[in-house]
Amino acid sequence: MTNFDALKELLSSPKKIAILPHKNPDGDAIGSTLAMYHYLQKLNHTCNVVAPNDFPKFLKWMPAAKDIVIADYQAKRAEAIIHQADIIFILDFNTVTRIDELGHWVEKSHAPKVLIDHHREPDTFDFMYSDIEMPATCQMVYNFIEKMGNLEMIDKDIAQCIYTGMMTDTGGFRFRNTSASTHRIVANLIDKGVEVDKVTSYVNDSQSEARLKLLSLTLNNLTFIPEYRTAFMFLKREDLLQNGFQKGDTEGFVNYGLSVENYIFSVIFIEDTVHNFIKISLRSKGDFDVNEFSRKHFNGGGHMNAAGGRSDLDMEKTIEYFKSLLPQYQDKIVKVEI
Ligand SMILES: [Mn+2]
């Protein structure tokens, strides 16, 4: 971490601290900000977590989750907290454009800013702990508390927050960057009281009925194209509306297409419930680049293995168009090693 000693000095007397996760906060964003909130309160600081918008139901159980100030609902309060902060923590994101309007307030503030994050190419802040090898910001928060010499201050609440972010960002400790130190830290967190079964259940077993119904409709139309190792699926507006769709309900559906042996490309087409276009999510394995695919054909982009896009054609035409693109990728697709 840059300027660590200066930060430690800064934290040696009580401060007003704003702690920010990114927009559409996930388990790692909420876990890391709440862990830091509990930890800094124990150091006698006055803390607030300010999120740009609301976070999913499966994270609402987390200790002090109800104290998070959501800028979408409490803009004035969010603004005031950032305005009055002596220190601003930026966790699990690396550029102020990821927090919408809150970004203006952060830029306006003269308070020193502390970044702890594992995303590529961060902006420059006063204090930075940036490491793209880390599987989760929560793991970095643990390391930060350790470097502060305060591991003994990690209680059950802090441990459950850190554990949640590590679990969700590693896909349940399965992704490649899950390391030996990830597991060593998890072992220590369990010693501090993490209830592994409960956290797992809170996170995984709080899906809405709508989500499961929509999943069943989606899997029902899942189509396989073996010669292109490609699967696709779709959801129509009336299905979404008739089943009480809420934002986030279709998160992760696209991954089912990659759970089939030998398949490396999966796409879901979802009609927007308000506007006349189709949202597209694309996932791949190996070196088949869906970022490039989406940029070229669907006005989108993202990462090599996960991208988004859109189509202004209707569903039938969009799917026809998608299928018509596949032959030109056949060579690339058959060569992908997994
Ligand atoms: Mn993260």
Q: How many angstroms does the Cα of residue 28 sit away from the middle of ligand 1? A: 5
How far does the centroid of ligand 1 lie from the alpha carbon of residue 30, in Å?
A: 10
Phi/psi class of residue 92: alpha, beta or left (left: φ > 0; alpha: ψ in -120 to 50)? Answer: left
Cα(169) to centroid(ligand 1), Å = 6
Q: How far away, in angstroms, is 1 Cα from ligand 1 center?
A: 18
23 C-alpha vs ligand 1 centroid, how far in Å?
A: 12
pLDDT reported for residue 49: 98
User: For the residues 226-247, what does the mean pLDDT come to?
Assistant: 96
* Alpha helices (H) along the chain: 4-10, 27-42, 75-84, 102-108, 137-147, 156-169, 180-191, 196-204, 209-220, 237-242, 290-297, 315-325, 330-335
Give yes or no for residue 43 having a pLDDT over 90.
Answer: yes
Top-confidence residue, 206 or 288: 288
- DSSP state string for 225-263: EGGGTEEEEEE-HHHHHHTT--TTTTTTGGGGGGGSTT-
Q: With a cut of 90, say whether residue 167 has pLDDT above it.
A: yes
* Angle between helix 156-169 and helix 196-204 axes, rounded to 10 deg: 50
Q: How long, in residues, is the chain?
A: 338
For residue 121, how many other CB atoms are within 10 A of its CB?
8
pLDDT tens across 246-305, in order? 888 998 899 999 999 999 999 999 999 999 999 999 999 999 999 999 999 999 988 788
Expressed in angstroms and rounded, the spacing between residue 296 Cα and the centre of ligand 1 is 28
Residue 303 has, within 13 A of its CA and on its CB side, a CA count of 8
User: What's the 79 CA to ligand 1 centre distance in angstroms?
Assistant: 24
The mean of the pLDDT values for the chain is: 96
**What are 109's strand-pairing partners?**
none
Written as one letter, the residue type at 286 is: G
The confidence score (pLDDT) of residue 47 equals: 98
For residue 49, give the amino acid letter: V
Name 12's bridge partners: none
User: pTM (2 decimals)?
Assistant: 0.84
Residue 164 CB burial class (10 angstroms; 0-12, 13-18, ≥19): buried
Q: How far does the centroid of ligand 1 lie from the alpha carbon of residue 27, in Å?
A: 8
Residue for token pair 């899942």 = 222
DSSP type of residue 327: G
Dihedral of the alpha carbons of 89, 169, 272, 95, in degrees to the nearest 10: 30
The CB density around residue 298, as the number of other CB atoms within 10 Å, is 24
What average pLDDT does range 308-319 have in this prediction?
97
Cα 313 to ligand 1 centre (Å): 34
- Distance CA(139)–CA(131), nearest Å, equals 11
Q: If 0-12 CB within 10 Å is exposed, 13-18 middle and 19+ buried, where does residue 179 land?
A: middle
Q: Is 207 a residue whose pLDDT tops 90?
A: no
Helices (H), 73-155: 75-84, 102-108, 137-147
Tokens representing 161?
């927050």
**CA-CA distance, 198 to 176, in Å (whole number)?**
25
CA 118 to ligand 1 centroid distance, Å? 7
pLDDT of 184 reads 98
What is the separation of C-alpha 221 from the centre of its chain, rounded to a whole number of angstroms? 28
Residue-wise pLDDT tens digits, 129-154: 999 999 999 999 999 999 999 999 99
Q: What's the gap in Å between 314 CA and the centre of ligand 1?
A: 35
pLDDT of 18 > 90? The answer is yes
Q: What is the mean pLDDT of residues 303-329?
A: 95
Give yes or no for a contact between 333 and 290, defined as CB atoms under 8 angstroms apart.
no
Q: Give 271's contacts (C-beta < 8 A, 6+ positions apart).
A: 235, 236, 237, 240, 277, 278, 279, 315
Cα of 280 from ligand 1 centre, angstroms: 23
Expressed in angstroms and rounded, the spacing between residue 175 Cα and the centre of ligand 1 is 13
Fill in the DSSP letter of residue 26: -
CA of 165 to the centre of ligand 1 (A): 7
Q: Which 3 state secondary structure label does DSSP give 150? A: coil
Distance CA 89, CA 69 (A): 15
**Residue 264, helix vs strand vs coil:** coil
pLDDT at 176 over 90: no
Joined tokens for residue 272: 């927007």
The alpha carbon of 134 and the centre of ligand 1 are apart by a number of angstroms equal to 9
pLDDT at position 83: 97
pLDDT of residue 74: 97
Q: How confident is the model at residue 175 (pLDDT cuts 50, 70, 90)?
A: confident
Residue 317 confidence (pLDDT) above 90 = yes
**What is the average pLDDT across 208-219?**
95
What is residue 306's predicted lDDT score, i.e. its pLDDT? 85
- Residue 92 Cα to ligand 1 middle (Å): 5
Both structure tokens of 73: 């609902």
